[in-house]
Structure 1
Amino acid sequence: MMQTYDAIVIGAGVMGASIAFHLAERGLQTAILERKVTASGATGHSSGLVRMHYDLAAESELTFASYKNYFGNWKERVGGECGFINTGFLQVAKREHEDKLRGNVANQQKIGINTSVISAAEVKKLFPDLVTEHFDYAAYEPDSGYADATLTTNSFLDSAKRNGATLIQNCEVTAIHTTGGKVTGVSTTKGGFDAPIIINAAGPWAKHVAALAGVDVPLVTWTHDVAFLHRPPSLGKFPAVIDDVINCYFRPEGSALILAAGEDESLRGEAPDAEDQTPTPTFVDKLIDAMVQRIPKIEESGLHSIHVGRDGITPDQRSIYSAAGPDGFYLACGLSGTGFKTSPAAGASMVELILDGKPKTVDITPFRFQRFAEGKLIEGEYGYGHIWK
């Protein structure tokens, strides 16, 4: 029997969950269809950084709105837990990028973000265990930190269900139906579902799902290795860090571990359901060599575990938030490894686009799907180059 809803969200990762939360909050009967289980794709392997430093003002606006309106008061706004921990955040820049660092920080300050450029000496004073000889300046956000992507997703979904949404897991979409140029519903491994609004938030599966609607999304899978290291007992406090000098990022993971990953050697083009979860052969050695340059006490550490995550990445490594193809079909995909921290405000903005015709929380029109056909890929105002090498 065909089930009828006001909207269907394909994918129960953090972005799909956020969109479902905001749709249900607006009173739409919403179905969330997930081919496996919640947060089983990129979300479940997210590094969870909550930081606002980007070389694109629109991304900083999304992360700032997400922090200010959601992560900073999660229980009141959403309910449940998101696991946000305030550690502070550092963006370490190469010496030749000082002007770009200052330009980006100035843009972020105009938005209202609590950020500043601080010297290497100031970094050393704040975090004595960090070696600061390799750079002159960093951007510092004292309000930032990290959160738990799975908790965040489940909180969104629990709230959506309290507002009438239905979550259906182990339910793969096999066809998207249209009539007269408009979407009408989907077929799945658990039957048919009718709705005039369908949002593709399928992560690494988004290209496949879009093709079911006749839409060709320029997206490939991107595979990313993340390590958990034992935290040396003598290591003092340190923030979440993106370090362009040593090409890696790291943050505390509770009190006993350190999460760390490199910015290069990520694989492209694997099947979205590839079973191989083996990290690239040189990943750990390269990561440790890099980390020791910034935190020498890492030599006292050891490897706890590794996980391998997979997302969809676009040619400009920026997300797609847009209508596309038949009327009623929308894309919230190609998140390129930055979807978690933007998901609350991006979900709100997507729902405003869908229901009101124009986003109000944050202007997401720079992330329109049409930019690829127009040859207008997104570039940062003070670009550092691609994040993922």
Structure 2
Amino acid sequence: MTLPSSSKIIIVGGGIIGCSTAYHLARMGQEVLLLDKAQLTSGSTWHAAGLVGQLRSNANITQLLGYSIDLYNRLEAETGLATGWKMNGGLRLACNAERWTEVKRQATTAHSFGLDMQLLTPQEAQDLWPLMDIGDVVGAAFLPTDGQASPSDITQALARGARDKGAVLVENMPAQEILVDGGRISGVRTPQGDVSCERLVLCCGQWTRELAATVGVNVPLVPVEHQYMITEPFGVPSDLPTLRDPDRLTYYKEEVGGLVMGGYEPNGIPWAVGGIPDPFDFQLLESNFDHFEQLVELALPRVPKFETAGIKQLINGPESFTPDGNFILGEAPEMANLFVGAGFNAFGIASGGGAGMALAEWVVNGAPPYDLWPVDIRRFGRPHQDTDWVRTRTLEAYGKHYTMAWPSEEHESGRPCRRSPLYDTLKSAGAVFGEKLGWERPNWYAAPGEDARDIYTFERPNWHDPVGREHRAVREAAALFDQTSFAKFVLKGPDAEAALGWIAANRVDRPVGRVIYTQMLNDLGGIECDLTCVRTAPDEYYIVTGTGFATHDFDWISRNIPDGLNAQLVDVTSANAVLSLFGPRARDILSACTRDDVSNADFPFGHARRIGIAGCPVLALRITYVGELGWELHLPVEYACTVHDALQAAGADHGLRNAGYRAIETLRLEKGYRAWGTDIGPDHTPDEAGLGWAVKLGTNQDFRGRAAVQAQREGGVTKMLATFTADPGVILSGRETIYRNGTRCGWLSSGGYGHALGRSIGMGYVRNPDGVTRDYVLEGAYELEVATERVRAEVTLAPLYDPRMERVKG
């Protein structure tokens, strides 16, 4: 076939993700050219196991997977091609008390997201899956709308659907080179010549990282060997549900009267460490029976007939896996108009329909259909540039695919990576570290004699009481937090104010020395960033945001600087350490360390100033995320130890205590402070989130999202963020279902415990398509579903803890 000389959109890769993206783009009326270096499905799609499950820990990812099922339900009728899709349901077993708690919490999550997950007795599970022994089964969950599909057939049906709508799909046509002109995508080079395009979409599976890297785009994924066994037929019913047995690390599905059995062993084997061989099309790796034996030994007690069933084949096919077990979607932050859909961690068939839909909308509209932060390519950062680090972390994620998903569980591999100058000092003080974007961050501090490590549980964990000590120190005296991991940028230039004024929802035309808390909004009024800006000079702003949002927020700000304005954004994260001093005695401590006046009259809330501490220049920001008097102290990293020691010495007589990030979480819940990525994000507007006061609608200044916020303010909202409290014995961790007057109306976005209040606390949106007002929220009677049981809850729209409150508004 002769290639066209140009196409508006080029997709590279003809697996299920590429074909699904082409299908959805063509349905949107877009001009699409898909190129595959060999034949459709020849990468990893053709050997995928084909289980299709829906439930994830995030509502929107669950919605995306549900879209896949809706698509597969109609695809055969639409295209005339068989897909092998069967909605035979999915079973998940629990074989111990803790797993049963996890399953019950998953069932509640399913109910929160509108899925009918049913809890079954062992006998009821066996009635659905008679081949299994249930001697060790405590219970099971059943999702009737799960199922299985034939990966190759689904992909070919999507390909036909794409062609029927005008897409051009060309096999045996590799993209040999990505062409860039003036820093922008211009096309691809093929054996038939160059083809120009406006947008390029890489859906190349395990080949994506290498191809993207040729133009400076990082896609953190690596291939890992994944094996599953196919038995000879032995009378397995064709309507048998899929089965996941996480305590035995295995999964099962029916195939032609036999079974497919695979799993996720703890010692996964990386593949192609030195590069993927070429060609590698419709190829498998040599079966590794010795390695697979550990899964067979776990499976035999569950399915005794395996002992006598004939083995047809042991499939060993490499799949692309990622460091956090989530796939990768979105526009690359390094290159405008280059999009990625890759790294599907062996659940590409379940994700394929929805991922292709979301990616197509992203390409056409510049944004996904809803917030997809858990899979957004911008969630990665500096450590993910190193493939060896990525591989180490990815193998840990692979091995944890079926292990217990504990609340607050931390990764163990690839650590320590990024360290504050105070790392060793804090470790010797009892710090138990967590990790975020490679940064080691103190989560909590163990006292002498306490076990300085996390012991995970679904009940109150071993750090509950130590965090309580730190929490009360903030409320009653003072605590010092090392927050060096904050992402920090400088926006500088003669047009800095104009540029930031367009991007930020709050006013930034403030005097030098003022701190501005602001959101940054998309065209629908959704919150894309939630951060702090300090005006440090007439032509300069210092911007501080969360550790995990470094890539995302830098990308959002830099892309939205209007054309023609002279303003440059620079990442200065590694240049500055941050020590946060919070608590009613914070002023006493700080004033003992500096000659500068830090009184309320001279240094009020919402102001920033350069002060000196022990010979060190410090940018002090009087703000709070915990609801007490305090300062964030930003200083060059080489001064961190000196300033830390000075503060500790001054605080010795004032009850100063070290504190970590888990105390920050409990403290902010008491104050009702929002967290981006959980409580607020692109699907939430300031008015819905209770942040409308931080929007400059009272001015005549235009800003991105203004029209949407104005329209919503005139028309009202259909959801509103509220805070809920429950008895202290109730364990809240997020995703618990909210019931108002007995009717499901939402779910908790975050949950925890308030140590000053002695109550469990959760935050979540009360939803009503007919509209939500403050009175509507406050007049309801509420219950929360926690691990399938309902408990009474109280609601408020105000901070729970008020004494000595530092108002965020300033």
Q: Normalized against structure 2, the TM-score is what?
A: 0.45
- Taking the TM superposition and a 5 Å limit, the aligned residue runs for 1:256-275 are 256-264=257-265, 265-270=267-272, 271-273=275-277
1:312 matched to 2:320? The reply is yes
Give the Å deviation of 1:342: 1.1
- Taking the TM superposition and a 5 Å limit, the aligned residue runs for 1:43-192 are 43-67=45-69, 69-76=70-77, 79-95=80-96, 96-192=98-194
- Taking the TM superposition and a 5 Å limit, the aligned residue runs for 1:194-233 are 194-233=196-235
Q: 1:49 to 1:132 in 2, by over 3 A?
A: same
String of CA shifts for 1:202-244, please: whole Å, max 9, x gaps. Answer: 0010111111221122211122112111233487964211111
Alignment correspondent of 1:296: 304
Distance of 2:371 and 2:95 partners within structure 1: 30
Alignment correspondent of 2:361: 352
Give the Å deviation of 1:31: 0.9
String of CA shifts for 1:6-53, please: whole Å, max 9, x gaps. Answer: 101110000000000011111112111111111011100111111223
Q: Which has the higher contact order (CA 8 A, sep 6+)?
A: 1
Please tell me the residue identity of whatever aligns with 1:188.
T
Distance of 2:235 and 2:149 partners within structure 1: 23
Distance of 2:4 and 2:67 partners within structure 1: 38
String of CA shifts for 1:243-285, please: whole Å, max 9, x gaps. Answer: 112111111002x221111211532142434666212231453
Distance of 1:173 and 1:179 partners within structure 2: 17
Please tell me the residue identity of whatever aligns with 1:177.
L
Structure 2: gaps (5+ residues): 385-389, 391-396, 404-810
Q: 1:154 to 1:2 in 2, by over 3 A?
A: closer
Structure 1: gaps (5+ residues): 378-382
Q: Conserved in 2, the CA contact under 8 Å of 1:134 and 1:245?
A: no
Distance of 1:100 and 1:51 partners within structure 2: 17
Distance of 2:202 and 2:336 partners within structure 1: 13
Q: Conserved in 2, the CA contact under 8 Å of 1:127 and 1:236?
A: no
Alignment correspondent of 1:323: 331
Q: 1:75 to 1:47 in 2, by over 3 A?
A: same
Distance of 2:350 and 2:37 partners within structure 1: 23
Bigger shift: 316-325 or 128-137? 128-137
Distance of 1:137 and 1:375 partners within structure 2: 40
Distance of 1:372 and 1:66 partners within structure 2: 26
Report the 3-state secondary structure (helix = DSSP H, G, I; strand = E; otherwise coil) of the residue aligned with 1:44: helix
Please tell me the residue identity of whatever aligns with 1:226.
Y
Q: 1:18 aligns with which of 4, 15, 20?
A: 20
Q: 1:276 to 1:292 in 2, by over 3 A?
A: closer
Give the Å deviation of 1:370: 1.5
Instruction: Calculate the aligned-residue CA RMSD, in Å.
Output: 2.5
String of CA shifts for 1:83-116, please: whole Å, max 9, x gaps. Answer: 1123221122352222222222212222222212
Give the Å deviation of 1:315: 0.6
Distance of 1:225 and 1:385 partners within structure 2: 13
Q: Conserved in 2, the CA contact under 8 Å of 1:320 and 1:331?
A: yes
Q: Conserved in 2, the CA contact under 8 Å of 1:41 and 1:310?
A: no
1:279 matched to 2:287? The reply is yes
Alignment correspondent of 2:348: 339
Please tell me the residue identity of whatever aligns with 1:289.
E
Report the 3-state secondary structure (helix = DSSP H, G, I; strand = E; otherwise coil) of the residue aligned with 2:106: helix
Give the Å deviation of 1:60: 2.1
Distance of 1:320 and 1:86 partners within structure 2: 26
Q: Normalized against structure 1, the TM-score is what?
A: 0.90
Q: Conserved in 1, the CA contact under 8 Å of 2:93 and 2:141?
A: yes
Distance of 2:106 and 2:133 partners within structure 1: 24
Please tell me the residue identity of whatever aligns with 2:168.
T
**Percent identity among equivalent residues?**
24
Give the Å deviation of 1:76: 4.3
Q: 1:234 to 1:347 in 2, by over 3 A?
A: closer
1:386 matched to 2:400? The reply is yes
Q: Conserved in 2, the CA contact under 8 Å of 1:127 and 1:237?
A: no
Give the Å deviation of 1:308: 2.1
Q: Conserved in 2, the CA contact under 8 Å of 1:71 and 1:82?
A: yes
Distance of 2:398 and 2:13 partners within structure 1: 31
- The count of aligned residue pairs is 381
Q: 1:62 to 1:234 in 2, by over 3 A?
A: closer
Q: 1:238 to 1:209 in 2, by over 3 A?
A: same
Q: Conserved in 2, the CA contact under 8 Å of 1:178 and 1:326?
A: no
Q: Conserved in 2, the CA contact under 8 Å of 1:31 and 1:168?
A: yes
Q: 1:219 to 1:292 in 2, by over 3 A?
A: same
Give the Å deviation of 1:307: 2.1
Q: 1:260 to 1:43 in 2, by over 3 A?
A: same
Distance of 1:266 and 1:384 partners within structure 2: 7
Q: 1:285 to 1:386 in 2, by over 3 A?
A: closer
String of CA shifts for 1:147-200, please: whole Å, max 9, x gaps. Answer: 111011111111111122111111222211122222110112332111111001
Bigger shift: 234-243 or 150-159? 234-243
Please tell me the residue identity of whatever aligns with 2:336.
D
Q: 1:190 to 1:92 in 2, by over 3 A?
A: farther
Q: 1:237 to 1:359 in 2, by over 3 A?
A: closer
Q: 1:258 to 1:221 in 2, by over 3 A?
A: same
Q: Conserved in 1, the CA contact under 8 Å of 2:76 and 2:157?
A: no
Q: Conserved in 1, the CA contact under 8 Å of 2:325 and 2:398?
A: no
